[in-house]
Amino acid sequence: MSDVESFIQSDLFEEPEDFYKPPPKPHFACYEREEISPESMSLKKNVKLRLVGSSPLWGHLLWNAGIYTSKHLDKHPELVKDKFVLELGAAGALPSLISGLIGARKCVATDYPDPDLLANIQYNVNEQLYAGKELPQEGKDLEAELEKRNVVVEGYIWGNEFDPILAHLPKKSDKFDLIILSDLVFNHTEHEKLLKTTKELLAENGKALVVFSPHRPWLLNADLAFLRPPKSLV
């Protein structure tokens, strides 16, 4: 074999096996319910939350706002007990899990329809609320299981058509008694879509729970603009 042939057949342009770092593995965060009301359907105290290894959507972290929201729900179970609850941008979905433990009639945990992110939320729901039981793959068995569960998972892009979300409620006329927006208002370009979604899906006497901490203090006024929406969006 000539030197030229040897060069052509070599692996000169092949990356070493360890050239690309493997994606970060999922990790866990533990949450302890400090104040459990006697009204709570479940007295489960410890919630082990799995978080994706990395996410451009920030679903790989348990933020303080999610912890505070969950504590607030346990202190005020009347917000979710026997109510229809929607969480937007759920990430690890801790507030949705707490809503399920308290006894929400139906809680829909939503986030961007990224397969890994939604699969992780579903994992948390299965493990923390249903003893690790996985959903059937399809068909009537899946429909029956989803109808039976009080916490379900749905992919959703803010501002888009929301019929798939409402489909989880018993009647077409039903809307949500509580909508949870935990640590979302830093998405300044999405304020209008979040407000539109909240307005369209909130029941007549419903409440929106908006919780956040300023990740960029110099943009606090832009965060707070969410709480001062134009009249057309109220």
What are the structural domains, with CATH classification, of the chain? 28-233 (3.40.50.150)
The tokens for 176 are 């949500």
State residue 172's pLDDT score.
86
Predicted local confidence at residue 4, as pLDDT: 58
Give me the residues of the chain with pLDDT under 50, please: none
Place of tokens 């888009």: 160
Model pTM?
0.89
Half-sphere exposure of 24 (CA within 13 A, CB side): 12
Query: How many CB atoms sit inside 10 A of residue 192's CB?
Result: 16
The reported pLDDT for the residue numbered 230 is 80
Sign of the CA dihedral 150, 170, 118, 202?
negative
- Residue of 175, 184, 232, 230 lying closest to 207 (CA atoms): 175
CA atoms within 13 A on the CB side of 116: 14
